[in-house]
Amino acid sequence: MPASRPLRETLLVKPGSKVDLAAIDASATHGHLKEAAEVELAAGHARLSDLQDRLWAEGRHAVLVVLQAMDGGGKDGTIRNVMGAFNPQGCSVAAFKVPTPIELAHDFLWRIHQRVPGRGEIGIFNRSHYEDVLIVRVNSLVPKAVWSRRYAEINAFEGTLAAAGTTILKFFLHIDREEQRERFAARLADPTKTWKFRLGDLEVRKRWDDYMAAYDEALSRCSTDVAPWYVIPANKKWFRNLAVAEILADTIAALDPRYPDPEPLPPGLVID
């Protein structure tokens, strides 16, 4: 039987705590069983669909979902299998690649702010502003004096969004190094997925420990009350999907979105 403690509590990075990803089991399922996963996820989809409809109709809150992971961690799969419950009319996905020259001419948060969701909307970031304390740090793209102050700048930015009515959830999809190896091998063996593989992925893989250290610090320093991080064990895709769906639904439900009152209608109204 699934554990009674909500995953929103179990997988939360408590603000002020120190994260050590090496000590977190990427294959954990916290009492959930694969045999029940399909039914549970279907129920989660129905719940998310209903909550999004209410959120959109009410138009009071925005929801921002941030997805981060190592290559092969399942960001695209999570969007496809969990966020597919949402009506595209009120949901957008932004994938942040290498900054363009125009983006580099501004502060690192400039391109991010343009893609945050408005009231009633759900925005999903496939990678995010955290790349500026991850890949930028690991590859020394800017001096340490620059990237090291970005943790505070990120927290201030997310605090500003929260104060304006945006609910922020950040998910780190945690796979281990062996699982990544297996997923890369599967991509190479599948003609429909080989296009996703880049030789550069292997160079990043060589820096695994450096990336884990960067993630440890980002998760530790940037999980706040208004913008929490969740570490999602993601070796098992079915559990990853269940966990993200449950935490997302519980968080939106806590906003208590409601349909607005209908417009007053004259008595005896007849539609010809």
Is the Cβ–Cβ distance between 125 and 94 less than 8 Å?
yes
Q: pLDDT per residue over 73-121, tens digit each? A: 999 999 999 999 999 999 999 999 999 999 999 999 999 999 999 999 9
Q: Quick one: what percent of the chain has pLDDT higher than 70?
A: 99
pLDDT-derived band of residue 1, with 50, 70 and 90 as boundaries?
A: very low
pLDDT beyond 80 at 181: yes
Burial of 133 (0-12, 13-18, 19+ CB in 10 A): buried
Q: Which residue do the tokens 């009120």 mark?
A: 90
Query: What angle separates helix 199-206 from helix 177-189, to the nearest 10 degrees?
Result: 170
Q: pLDDT per residue over 147-172, tens digit each? A: 999 999 999 999 999 999 999 999 99
pLDDT beyond 90 at 263: no
Rounded to two decimals, the pTM is 0.95
Mean pLDDT for the stretch of residues 189-199: 89
Of 23-37, 68-82, 215-229, 257-271, give the lowest mean pLDDT range.
Answer: 257-271
Q: How do the domains of the chain map onto residue ranges?
A: 11-254
pLDDT beyond 80 at 188: yes
pLDDT beyond 70 at 3: no
pLDDT-derived band of residue 200, with 50, 70 and 90 as boundaries?
A: confident
User: What pLDDT is recorded for position 4?
Assistant: 65
pLDDT beyond 80 at 271: yes
Is the Cβ–Cβ distance between 177 and 73 less than 8 Å?
no
- The CATH class of the 11-254 domain is alpha beta
Q: pLDDT per residue over 235-259, tens digit each? A: 999 999 999 999 999 999 999 999 9
CA distance 18 to 20: 7
The neighbour count for residue 143, using CB atoms within 10 Å, is 8
User: What pLDDT is recorded for position 254?
Assistant: 97
Alpha helices in the chain (DSSP H): 7-10, 37-58, 75-81, 101-104, 110-113, 135-138, 144-147, 150-163, 177-189, 199-206, 208-221, 237-254
Q: pLDDT per residue over 207-217, tens digit each? A: 999 999 999 99
pLDDT beyond 60 at 2: no
Query: Mean pLDDT, the chain, as a whole number?
Result: 95
Is the Cβ–Cβ distance between 208 and 2 less than 8 Å?
no
Query: In 3-state terms, what secondary structure has residue 66?
Result: strand
pLDDT-derived band of residue 272, with 50, 70 and 90 as boundaries?
A: confident
Is the Cβ–Cβ distance between 44 and 85 less than 8 Å?
yes
Give 163's Cβ-side CA count (13 Å radius). 6
Q: Which residue do the tokens 């519980």 mark?
A: 250
